[in-house]
Structure 1
Amino acid sequence: MPAYVVLTRERTHDAEELATYGTKAKAAREGHDPQPLAFYGDFEVLEGSDMEGAVILRFPDMAAARAWYQSDAYQEARKHRFQGADYRVFLVDGVENI
């Protein structure tokens, strides 16, 4: 069953750190092959707090999503995300055809 990692950027603090994160996060995808379904495209907040953008990554299952997130390469990238912006990140199990 697919799983999704959703990242919402709420507020940027340091654009340079965020650029470093972007470079390192892209490299951290190697060997994990997430499928980007949304990547900072146009959006509209219908309810809840405002945000600056969002990313949705599809993985084959929860284990694959966790393996990517917990990988050494992504953990290194994540340090720069923490310095660059406030994010909300969550993992959600997908569903088969309803």
Structure 2
Amino acid sequence: MTAYALAHLRPQAKPHEEVYEYMERIQATLDPFGGLFVVHGAPVEVREGEWPGALVIIRFPSIEQAREWYDSPAYQDILRLRADHIPGDLVLVDGVGPDHDSAAMAARMRAMDANGA
């Protein structure tokens, strides 16, 4: 099942030179794991709450490949180039399949609540 790496980054006004290097090198770390940028710093239109910063979404074929990418020596080697200069949060998450049904999910959750789970 498709998985995603989501990063909420809060960049400074002018990127540090190491951030440019990180951007130049990240795709090579993604390629062996099938990682593709879906969103990469496009303007965010906030409709609810607050969202200071930028959004990056990278799609992977599976959560295992997302984990392997993040833990890979190639990515760990460049991570500090961004993390030292741009504070942020990064999460890995499974996506849902094309047959996902939010009403059925609600029914399962209700049943669990009713059973005290």
Q: Aligned partners of 1:62, 1:33: CA distance in 2, in Å?
A: 11
Structure 2: segments with no counterpart, 5+ residues: 101-117
Is the aligned partner of 1:61 residue 2:78? Answer: no
Task: Quote how far apart the aligned CAs of 1:48 are.
Answer: 3.2
Q: Is the 8 A contact 1:16 1:84 kept in 2?
A: no
Q: Which residue of 2 aligns with 1:48?
A: 50
Q: Aligned partners of 2:17, 2:66: CA distance in 1, in Å?
A: 27
**Larger relative CO (CA 8 A, sep 6+): 1 or 2?**
1
Equivalent residues in 2 for 1:3-82, closer than 5 Å? 3-12=3-12, 14-45=15-46, 46-51=48-53, 53-82=54-83
Question: Structure 1 or 2: larger helix share?
Answer: 2
TM-score relative to the length of structure 2: 0.74
Question: Structure 1 or 2: larger strand share?
Answer: 1
Larger Cα-atom Rg: 2
TM-score relative to the length of structure 1: 0.86
Q: Is the 8 A contact 1:10 1:50 kept in 2?
A: yes
| Deviations 1:20-70 (CA, angstroms, capped at 9, x unpaired) | 21122122123122122111112123323411x111111111101001111
Count how many residue pairs are aligned between Structure 1 and Structure 2.
97
